[in-house]
Amino acid sequence: MTLKIRTIALKDVSTEEYGLLTRRSAVPDPEIRAGASAIVRDVELNGDAAVREASRLYGGGTDGPIRVPVASISEAAAALPDLLSVAILAAASNVRDVHEQQIQVRTIRETLPGVTVERRWAPIDSVGIHVPGGRAAYPSSAIMGIIPAQIAGVRRICVATPAGPDGTVNPVVLGTAGLLGVDEVYAMGGAQAIGALAYGTESVERVSKIVGPGGPWVTAAKLAVFGVCGIDLPAGPSEAAIVTDADADPVTVAADVMCQAEHGAESAVLLTVPSEDFADEVIDAIQAALPRLPRADTITNALNDNGLIVVCDSLADGLTLANDWAPEHLSIHTESARDDVEAVPNAGSVFVGKWSSEAAGDYATGASHVLPTGGLARSYGPLSVDDFGSYRQIQTLTRSGLEALAPTIFALAGAEGLDAHAYSVMARLEGSP
């Protein structure tokens, strides 16, 4: 398969074309949204039968029980190769270390004498974590969802992951769940899994929130059930932007171009380069590496369909384009990489300099790899402990505190014409000693 990644010069891009290039969306097209909504609705009405029918049509199901027996989870954990078990636990430990810093269980602020406002953490009661699977295994996605949920204090954590063509859940994903203490796993994926988690079925107890990555049908299904239960964010196929200068190493840059592209043919990659010659060097390095990679066809399809190299007259132009594109992953291969980070606030996860491989973030640094895509990095961040609960406001006033606030309350209530608000204060102050 021939690599034909498109290369353009930024100076030749019109304002209208630039707008089209940077105006992206993680939300699937209307046909997928309609199809996913129909599947979700069928699951709501018909439960397990609808899950099995959707799995028969689209894959991801099993002829056995939808819920994986607890014994099978324990057996899968025990059967993991020692080196893999060590790696899973090491990655989980790093994720735990990073995420434990994110939560403040309780803060109290006295705004005036006699007026305190408390912020107290309350974990979600139940969470369903969608872990992609089927023909591939993503134990890392299980880690990224399970560990923050545990730190948050979620009482019930379950995993939904598609069965493969043989009708069984990938043993590595199953074993990872077991190693991390999760004994509720469902063999289902796609829109039907999201519907089952949101509404519940004969075999699946409904959850309060659904998190985790997935393809367009999973994303569309999440949007369809939002309101019935919470979701983390509508995230689409994996993507990366790479910003370079003349000092960057073409081979390392080429490796980063291929890293996220191998997830699937829908993955998108944007590369900014200082010259056409550098672009050619990167393309040559990609072509040299592809024969050694088992997923070469997937990478080639992704780059041909959704890859773009942009020649920029200045590093500032490349950084601006990356920021406007708002990528899920951003790699900065520049001499001034540490400073250049400040120019791109719109990015889900940033990798600074030659040694900062995106693969390290996907697997081992402890940072989350569940990230906003399709331009949503403008307004969303990575999955975090905060996604597994919320903070309650607890307000306590004494009489003197209420007296101090009364003029402010009366003035604003009067301006809004809400006299009962004012009366609720007066009744206390005039009717109580």
For 251-279, write each residue's pLDDT tens digit: 999 999 999 999 989 999 999 999 999 99
Percent helix, strand and coil across the chain, each rounded to 5? 50, 20, 30
Using an 8 Å Cβ cutoff, are 370 and 235 in contact? yes
328 labelled catalytic: yes
Average pLDDT over the chain reads: 95
Question: Does pLDDT of 432 surpass 70?
Answer: no
What's the CA gap between 326 and 348, in Å, rounded? 8
Helices (H), 100-233: 139-152, 171-179, 190-199, 216-225
Predicted confidence at residue 105, as pLDDT, reads 80
Predicted confidence at residue 433, as pLDDT, reads 57
Burial status of residue 175 (CB atoms within 10 A of its CB: 0-12, 13-18, 19 or more): buried
For 85-128, write each residue's pLDDT tens digit: 999 999 999 999 999 999 878 899 999 999 999 999 999 999 99
Domains and CATH numbers, the chain: 6-26+237-366 (3.40.50.1980), 30-101+122-232 (3.40.50.1980), 398-431 (no CATH)
For 344-395, write each residue's pLDDT tens digit: 999 999 999 999 999 999 999 999 999 999 999 999 999 999 999 999 999 9
Per DSSP bridges, beta strands 106-112 and 115-123 are: antiparallel
For 6-20, write each residue's pLDDT tens digit: 999 999 999 999 999
Confidence of residue 26 (pLDDT cuts 50, 70, 90): confident
For 406-422, write each residue's pLDDT tens digit: 999 999 999 999 999 99
Using an 8 Å Cβ cutoff, are 109 and 207 in contact? no
Overall size of the chain counted in residues = 433
For 160-188, write each residue's pLDDT tens digit: 999 988 889 999 999 999 999 999 999 99
Nearest CA-CA partner of 262 in 289, 237, 298: 298
130 labelled catalytic: no
Predicted confidence at residue 300, as pLDDT, reads 97
User: DSSP labels for 342-392?
Assistant: GG--S-SEEEESTT--HHHHHHTSSS------TTGGGT-----GGGGEEEE
Question: Does pLDDT of 72 surpass 60?
Answer: yes
**Mean predicted confidence (pLDDT) in 310-338:** 97
Q: What percent of the chain has pLDDT over 70?
A: 99
- Among 163-167, 186-190, 216-220, 248-252, name the one with the lowest average pLDDT: 163-167
What's the CA gap between 168 and 75, in Å, rounded? 14
| Catalytic residue selected from 263, 329, 333, 369 | 329
Using an 8 Å Cβ cutoff, are 388 and 122 in contact? no
Beta partners for 109? Answer: 117
Predicted confidence at residue 103, as pLDDT, reads 84
Using an 8 Å Cβ cutoff, are 271 and 242 in contact? yes
How many C-beta atoms lie closer than 10 Å to residue 416's C-beta? 10
Cβ neighbors of 71 (< 8 A, separation 6 or more) are none
Beta partners for 115? Answer: 112, 397
Question: Does pLDDT of 140 surpass 70?
Answer: yes
| Catalytic residue selected from 328, 333, 358, 369 | 328
Predicted confidence at residue 166, as pLDDT, reads 86
